[in-house]
Amino acid sequence: MPSQRIPMQKRVPLSPASPNCSTCVLGHVCVPIGMAAADVRQLDTLVQERVRLPKGTILYTQNDMLDAVYSVRYGSLKTQIEDAAGQVQITGFNLPGEMIGLDGMLEGHHVSTAIATEDAEVCVIRLSQIDQVASQLPSLQHQMRRLMSRELGRSYQLLASLGSMRSDQRLAGFLLNLSQRYATLGYSSTEFVLRMGREEIGNYLGLTLETTSRLFSRFARENLISVHQRDVRLLDIPALKQLVGQDTC
Amino acid sequence: MPSQRIPMQKRVPLSPASPNCSTCVLGHVCVPIGMAAADVRQLDTLVQERVRLPKGTILYTQNDMLDAVYSVRYGSLKTQIEDAAGQVQITGFNLPGEMIGLDGMLEGHHVSTAIATEDAEVCVIRLSQIDQVASQLPSLQHQMRRLMSRELGRSYQLLASLGSMRSDQRLAGFLLNLSQRYATLGYSSTEFVLRMGREEIGNYLGLTLETTSRLFSRFARENLISVHQRDVRLLDIPALKQLVGQDTC
DNA sequence: CGGGTTATTGAAGGCTATCAACCAAAGTGG
DNA sequence: CCACTTTGGTTGATAGCCTTCAATAACCCG
Over pLDDT 70: what percentage of chain B? 91
Amino acid at site A194: L
C1' (D9) to CA (A38) span, angstroms = 50
Contact residues, chain A, for B167 at CB < 8 Å = none
Read off the pLDDT band of B5 (50, 70, 90): very low
Contact positions of strand D to protein Cβ (< 7 A): 8-13, 17-22, 26-28
Is residue A74 a contact partner of residue A105, using CB atoms and an 8 Å limit? no
Give the integer Cα–Cα distance in Å for B115 and B7.
9
Q: Residue A6's pLDDT band (boundaries 50, 70, 90)?
A: very low
Phi, psi of A25 (to 5 degrees): -70, -15
pLDDT tier, B10 (very low <50, low <70, confident <90, very high otherwise) = low
Q: What span, in angstroms and rounded, lies between the C-alpha atoms of A213 and A114? A: 25
B61, HSE (Cβ side, Cα atoms, 13 Å)? 12
Shortest CA–C1' contact from A169: which nucleotide?
C15
From chain B, pick out residues whose CB is under 8 angstroms from the CB of A112. 153, 156
Does A248 contact B87 at a Cβ distance shorter than 8 Å? yes
Q: What letter would DSSP give residue B17?
A: -
Cα–Cα dist B177/B179, whole Å? 5
Which are the contacts of B198, defined by CB distance < 8 A and separation ≥ 6? B209, B212, B213, B216
Where does the pLDDT of residue A104 fall: very low under 50, low under 70, confident under 90, or very high at 90 and above? confident
pLDDT for A203:
97
- pLDDT tens profile A202-245: 999 999 999 999 999 999 999 999 999 899 999 999 999 999 98
Reported confidence tier of residue B2, pLDDT bands at 50, 70, 90: very low
In the 112-151 segment of chain B, residues within 7 Å (Cβ) of strand D are none
pLDDT bucket at B83, cuts 50 / 70 / 90: confident
CB contact (8 A) between residue A105 and residue B146 = yes
pLDDT band for position A2 (cuts 50, 70, 90): very low
* Distance C6 C1' – B198 CA (angstroms): 8
* Element of type H or E holding A179: helix A167-184
Residue A216, classed as helix, strand or coil, is helix
Low-confidence winner among A43-52, A240-249, B153-162, B188-197 (lowest mean pLDDT): A240-249
Determine the distance between B230 (CA) and D24 (C1') in angstroms: 20
Kindly identify which residue of chain A lies nearest to residue B92, measuring between CA atoms: A156
Chain A neighbours among B 6-25 (CB < 8 Å)?
none
CA–chain centroid gap for B150, Å, is 12
Identify the pLDDT of residue B39.
92
DSSP-derived letter for residue B33 is T
Closest C-alpha to A211, from A174, A246, A177, A160? A174
Alpha helices in chain B (DSSP H): 37-41, 127-134, 139-164, 167-184, 198-205, 209-221, 237-245
Three-class secondary structure of residue A68 per DSSP:
strand
Would you say A25 and A133 are in contact if contact means Cβ atoms under 8 Å apart?
no
Stretch (H or E) spanning A69: strand A68-74
Interchain proximity B138–A156, CB inside 8 Å: no
Position A245 scores a pLDDT of 83
Average pLDDT in chain A: 89
Q: Does the beta carbon of A205 lie under 8 angstroms from any beta carbon of chain B?
A: yes
Q: Which domains does chain A carry? A: 12-146 (2.60.120.10), 162-245 (1.10.10.10)
Rounded Cα gap, residues A234 and A191, in angstroms? 6
Bridge-partner residues for B88, per DSSP?
Answer: B82
Provide the mean pLDDT of chain B: 90
User: What is the arithmetic mean of pLDDT over B131-147?
Assistant: 92
**Contact present, B193 and B232 (Cβ < 8 Å):** yes
Q: Looking at the complex, does the CB of residue B246 fall below 8 Å from at least one CB of chain A?
A: yes
Closest to B27 (Cα-Cα) out of B47, B10, B13, B12? B47
- pLDDT, one tens digit per residue, over A124-168 is 999 999 999 999 999 999 999 999 999 999 999 999 999 999 999
Q: Are B215 and B222 in contact (CB under 8 A)?
A: no
Nucleotide nearest to B166 (CA to C1'): D17
Average pLDDT over residues B92-118: 91
- Of A128 and B65, the one with more pLDDT: A128
Q: Name chain A contacts of B126, Cβ cutoff 8 Å.
A: none
**Angstrom distance (rounded) from CA A113 to CA A90:** 9
**Is residue A118 pLDDT above 80, yes or no?**
yes
Average pLDDT over residues B202-224: 97
Amino acid B13: pLDDT:
61
pTM attached to this predicted model: 0.92
Please give the pLDDT value at position A166: 96
